[in-house]
């Protein structure tokens, strides 16, 4: 946890150095490019809308100089009709622009979310050791929402006002070169604070989004552990810690809002102060006869248009800065490379699968613990169909063996072979397709029974799924649910007991029919009756296939062909139960301790089981 926090703090410290402009938004181009017809249509609509606004200035000039001055009511009537036509055109262009850019925003953000999720789901577990799940969720939800606002609202508004700004400036120059010269002097005063303060806004925006990610991460962690929180009466402490994160996010957000508000206020003062000055200068020119009243009216109209566009852009810049921060976070995520990748030309595993496993001098460090090796010079050969149990104290490296065999990680040195092929040379998907895992803490998805079991082999039909469930003794309780196999099992299987969740996991492995079976305390969550039901299914599943068993209860591995004793990432002994007991050492001490305790409690299968129940004393 400490290392994770440090890595996140380091990324946050780097952010201000990277934040300097809106270059990050360029990365959105590849998501927008496929929809160029919509972009083209939106640009046309934007141009038409901006053009109609600028045309109004010309109409105003003619109306003042020719209509009001001559008293021609017909011209006034024509002006009204022309105004109505312009309004209809403006309304139609606005509708087209709004629809197209809104559709584009939703479509592009949908594509970004798909791309980010598709990328993240393929990253190695090492990435998630150093990155909080809540932070990833924040990027996929909050940050993409900011981009949706950018593409569907902010960017079109910025483009529209940019067109008005450019068109208005051109019309100002055409109307009065003298007054335009004054405007040119004012422009740097408006642009400078937008650029300088805008960079500050962007840095604050990224920091704000990081603090929001902290809030999301805390919520996700707390809700996943709500039972533990309530069991230890930890609600008040967790509320206080959550309040701290919310206040931190609020403080940064307020700083960002204060800076943006100051930027907007400054621009308004400068722009409208300049407009007032222009009116004063233009008024003197009208009195002197240098320009007509219509020209001054048109100039003021365009000056207001330019001022409004500049003010809108100053506000939009803040949104663009926020979107740039969000884009940067998403691009960082998309740019993250997985530690585990398939080679350009993967070596095909032999078919049919044999199930031969070999570890050659494997040393491995977890990314979050680079200074503490989890495996050290680990060498183990497992023949096809052999049953091997890994035993030892907690932290000995037993689960790590399965992690590297599934190629969730690559070893720091040495190699791991499956059917004679180095895992680094094979496609990870093909390697994992030959393995079936039954973990100690099985994962149940928020779906029904069919989908949870079919996770083992998605193409399996209902009959095969039911057969696997019956073999794992899971059909019995699934059929008793309100909707049978169609019943929703709850988030993380909350509607099931621990033993029932374990049987679902076993059914998955049965359905998968793997060449190599990995059992990580597969019956640890089962009561005696459930274990009796499942044990026979496990024995049938283990038949004629390579099996690696992790066991803390030594009574469950008495009949395994070979027991490998591990301690601190090394193999310290290997042999049958009888051999290891006679040799003494770590296994003998563990066996003496466990079996003495079991004998006292009456739980030792060797003393308590009936002959016909001997199956319960085998593998788990």
What is residue 82's predicted lDDT score, i.e. its pLDDT? 77
- Average pLDDT value for residue range 494-521: 86
Distance, in Å, from the CA atom of 423 to the CA atom of 428, rounded to the nearest integer, reads 7
Does pLDDT of 77 surpass 80? no
Distance, in Å, from the CA atom of 163 to the CA atom of 44, rounded to the nearest integer, reads 12
Count of CB atoms within 10 A of residue 508's CB? 25
The DSSP-derived string for 459-516 is T--HHHHHHHHHHTT-HHHHHTSTTGGGSB--GGGTTS-HHHHHHHHHHHHHHH--SE
Pairing outcome for strands 570-575 and 562-567: antiparallel
Distance, in Å, from the CA atom of 323 to the CA atom of 144, rounded to the nearest integer, reads 9
What is residue 603's predicted lDDT score, i.e. its pLDDT? 41
pLDDT interval class at 1 (50, 70, 90): very low
Higher-scoring residue by pLDDT: 216, 570: 570
Token pair of 240, please?
């206080």
Distance, in Å, from the CA atom of 72 to the CA atom of 90, rounded to the nearest integer, reads 27
Distance, in Å, from the CA atom of 201 to the CA atom of 320, rounded to the nearest integer, reads 10
pTM exceeds 0.75, yes or no: no
What is residue 382's predicted lDDT score, i.e. its pLDDT? 92
- Alpha carbon 200 to chain centroid, angstroms: 27
Higher-scoring residue by pLDDT: 64, 573: 573
- Average pLDDT value for residue range 556-576: 86
Higher-scoring residue by pLDDT: 186, 246: 246
Q: Pick the most confident of 72-76, 280-284, 598-602.
A: 280-284
| pLDDT tens digits, 217-271 | 788 778 777 777 887 777 888 888 888 888 988 988 888 888 878 877 877 777 6
Does pLDDT of 16 surpass 50? no
Mean pLDDT score of the chain, rounded to an integer? 79
Token pair of 618, please?
């085998």
Range scoring the smallest mean pLDDT among 300-314, 421-435, 454-468, 590-604: 590-604
Does pLDDT of 560 surpass 80? no
Range scoring the smallest mean pLDDT among 66-70, 280-284, 369-373: 66-70
Pairing outcome for strands 413-418 and 357-365: antiparallel
What is residue 400's predicted lDDT score, i.e. its pLDDT? 92
- One fold for 2-335 and 350-434+519-606+616-620: no
- Average pLDDT value for residue range 146-151: 78
Return the CATH class of domain 2-335: mainly alpha
Q: ∠ at Cα 124 (123, 128), nearest 5°? A: 85
The strands making up 357-365's β-sheet, listed across from edge to edge, are 373-382, 357-365, 413-418, 421-422
Spatial contact of 139 and 329, defined as CB atoms under 8 Å apart: yes
Does pLDDT of 611 surpass 90? no
Residue 32: name the closest of 99, 117, 106, 119 by CA: 106
What are the sequence ranges of the domains in the chain?
2-335, 350-434+519-606+616-620, 440-513
Residue 407: name the closest of 122, 49, 114 by CA: 122
The SS3 assignment for 373 reads: strand
Size of the chain in residues: 620
Does pLDDT of 72 surpass 70? no
438 to 52, 159, 273, 409: CA distances (angstroms): 68, 56, 73, 19
Give me the helix-helix angle, 293-335 and 2-18, nearest 10°: 150
What CATH number should be reported for the domain whose range is 440-513? 3.40.50.300
Higher-scoring residue by pLDDT: 514, 293: 514
CATH homologous superfamily for the domain 350-434+519-606+616-620: P-loop containing nucleotide triphosphate hydrolases (3.40.50.300)
Distance, in Å, from the CA atom of 452 to the CA atom of 505, rounded to the nearest integer, reads 8
| pLDDT tens digits, 332-346 | 888 888 888 888 899
Q: In this structure, what DSSP letter does residue 408 have?
A: S
pLDDT interval class at 421 (50, 70, 90): very high
Q: ∠ at Cα 259 (258, 262), nearest 5°? A: 85
Token pair of 275, please?
């407009």
Q: Which residue has the tokens 């283990």?
A: 542
Q: Which residue has the tokens 């000055």?
A: 277
Does pLDDT of 376 surpass 90? yes
Distance, in Å, from the CA atom of 532 to the CA atom of 535, rounded to the nearest integer, reads 5
- Average pLDDT value for residue range 405-431: 91
- Average pLDDT value for residue range 426-448: 87
């Amino acid at each position: 946890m400490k290392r994770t926090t440090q890595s996140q703090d380091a990324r946050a410290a780097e952010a201000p150095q990277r934040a300097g402009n809106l270059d990050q938004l360029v990365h959105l181009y590849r998501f927008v490019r496929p929809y160029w017809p919509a972009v083209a249509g939106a640009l046309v609509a934007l141009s038409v809308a901006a053009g109609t606004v600028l045309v109004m200035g010309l109409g105003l000039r003619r109306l003042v100089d020719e209509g009001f001055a001559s008293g021609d009511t017909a011209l006034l009537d024509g002006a009204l009709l022309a105004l109505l036509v312009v309004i209809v055109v403006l309304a139609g262009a606005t509708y087209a622009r709004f629809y197209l850019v809104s559709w584009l925003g939703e479509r592009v953000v949908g594509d970004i979310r798909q791309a980010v999720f598709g990328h993240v789901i393929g990253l190695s577990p090492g990435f998630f050791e150093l990155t909080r799940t809540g932070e990833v969720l924040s990027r996929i939800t909050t940050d993409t929402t900011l981009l949706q606002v950018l593409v569907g609202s902010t960017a079109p508004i910025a483009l529209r006002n940019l067109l008005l700004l450019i068109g208005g400036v051109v019309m100002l120059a055409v109307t009065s070169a003298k007054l335009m010269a004054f405007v040119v002097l004012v422009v740097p005063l408006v642009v400078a604070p937008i650029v300088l303060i805008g960079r500050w806004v962007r840095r604050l925006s990224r920091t704000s989004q990081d603090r929001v990610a902290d809030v999301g991460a805390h919520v996700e962690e707390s809700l996943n552990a709500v039972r533990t929180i309530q069991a230890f009466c930890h609600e008040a402490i967790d509320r206080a810690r959550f309040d701290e994160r919310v206040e931190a996010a609020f403080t940064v957000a307020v700083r960002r809002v204060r800076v943006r508000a100051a930027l907007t206020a400054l621009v308004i003062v400068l722009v409208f102060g300049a407009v007032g000055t222009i009116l004063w200068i233009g008024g003197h020119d009208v009195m002197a006869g240098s320009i007509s009243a219509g020209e001054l009216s048109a100039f003021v109209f365009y000056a207001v248009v330019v001022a409004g566009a500049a003010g809108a852009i100053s506000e939009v810049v803040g949104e663009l800065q926020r979107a740039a921060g969000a884009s940067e976070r998403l691009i960082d995520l998309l740019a993250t490379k997985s530690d585990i990748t398939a080679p350009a030309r993967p070596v095909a595993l032999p078919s049919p699968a044999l199930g031969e496993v070999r570890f050659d001098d494997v040393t491995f460090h977890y990314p979050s613990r680079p200074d503490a090796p989890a495996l050290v010079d680990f060498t183990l050969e497992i023949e096809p169909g052999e049953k091997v149990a890994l035993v030892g104290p907690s932290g000995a490296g037993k689960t790590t063996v399965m992690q590297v065999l599934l190629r969730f990680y690559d070893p720091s040195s040495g190699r791991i072979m499956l059917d004679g092929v180095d895992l680094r040379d094979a496609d990870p998907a093909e390697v994992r397709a030959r393995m079936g895992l039954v973990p100690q803490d099985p994962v149940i998805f928020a779906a029904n029974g069919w989908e949870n079991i079919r996770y083992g082999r998605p193409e399996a039909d209902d009959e095969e799924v039911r057969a696997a469930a019956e073999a794992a003794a899971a059909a019995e309780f699934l059929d008793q649910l309100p909707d049978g196999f169609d019943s929703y099992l709850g988030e993380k299987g909350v509607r099931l007991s621990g033993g029932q969740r374990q049987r679902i996991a076993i059914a998955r492995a049965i359905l998968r029919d793997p060449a190599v079976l990995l059992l990580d305390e597969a019956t640890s969550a089962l009561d005696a009756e459930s274990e009796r039901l499942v044990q026979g299914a496990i024995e049938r599943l283990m038949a004629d296939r390579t099996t690696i068993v992790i066991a803390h209860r030594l009574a469950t591995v008495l009949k395994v062909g070979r027991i490998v004793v591990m301690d601190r990432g090394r193999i310290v002994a290997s042999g049958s139960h009888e051999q290891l007991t006679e040799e003494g050492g770590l296994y003998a001490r563990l066996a003496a301790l466990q079996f003495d305790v079991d004998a006292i409690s009456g739980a030792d299968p060797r003393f308590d089981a009936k002959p016909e129940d001997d199956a319960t004393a085998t593998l788990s």
